[in-house]
């Protein structure tokens, strides 16, 4: 572990904690509770707030691809993703199937501060949710997108990525999270 990298990451974490007072971190009880369903109106409002915070977070840190309502102290079943310069709001999502094929990725979480770990997840999932118009969507996701969806969905169930960590892989973030790649399980 590089001491200088740990110090830099810790300073960034302190800056984030000051700039984003609504964020909740591991140890906060809201991150351990299952969320309640949201009405479409609530979901849209929460989704827009999540998008706004996530975009500001990305401007500050250069990272961040998803954010779930419990991470900003809202116990509702809503999360957002930011991929390829597009945001998506997921209201009351439900994963309906998972592949047997698995992969590994060293996951970072905005609620875990300076820690990450290797997490094994299904390579492909199918999910149902309501979109920002209230329309039911069902779609299959694979690869990195499936992983991101599962990570955010877990927040709605009160599960942290570090809960799912492979043994002895939790560590300080000491390299660029954007350089991480999926690995076969």
Binding-site residue set: 109, 151, 155
The residue behind tokens 């954010």 is: 67
Q: Which of 18, 86, 140, 152 is catalytic?
A: 152
Could you confirm whether 86 is annotated as catalytic?
A: no
How many alpha carbons fall within 13 Å on the CB side of residue 5?
A: 11
Per the annotation, where are the binding residues for Fe cation? 109, 151, 155
Sort strands 102-108 and 66-68 into parallel, antiparallel or unpaired.
Answer: unpaired
Q: Which residues are catalytic?
A: 152
């Amino acid at each position: 572990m590089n001491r200088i990298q740990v110090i830099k990451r810790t300073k960034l974490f302190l800056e984030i904690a000051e700039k984003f007072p609504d964020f909740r971190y591991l140890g906060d009880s809201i991150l351990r509770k299952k969320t309640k369903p949201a009405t479409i109106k609530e979901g849209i409002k929460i989704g827009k707030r999540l998008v706004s915070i996530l975009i500001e977070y990305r401007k500050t840190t250069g990272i961040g691809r998803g954010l779930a309502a419990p991470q900003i102290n809202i116990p509702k079943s809503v999360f957002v993703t930011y991929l390829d310069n597009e945001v998506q709001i997921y209201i009351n999502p439900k994963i309906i199937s998972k592949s047997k094929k698995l992969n590994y990725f060293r996951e970072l979480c905005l609620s875990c501060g300076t820690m990450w770990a290797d997490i094994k997840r299904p390579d492909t999932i199918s999910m149902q949710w309501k979109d920002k118009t209230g329309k039911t969507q069902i779609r299959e996701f694979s690869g990195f997108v499936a992983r991101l969806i599962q990570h955010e969905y877990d927040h709605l169930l009160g599960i942290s990525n570090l809960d799912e960590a492979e043994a002895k892989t939790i560590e300080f973030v000491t390299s660029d999270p954007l350089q991480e790649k999926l690995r076969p399980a």
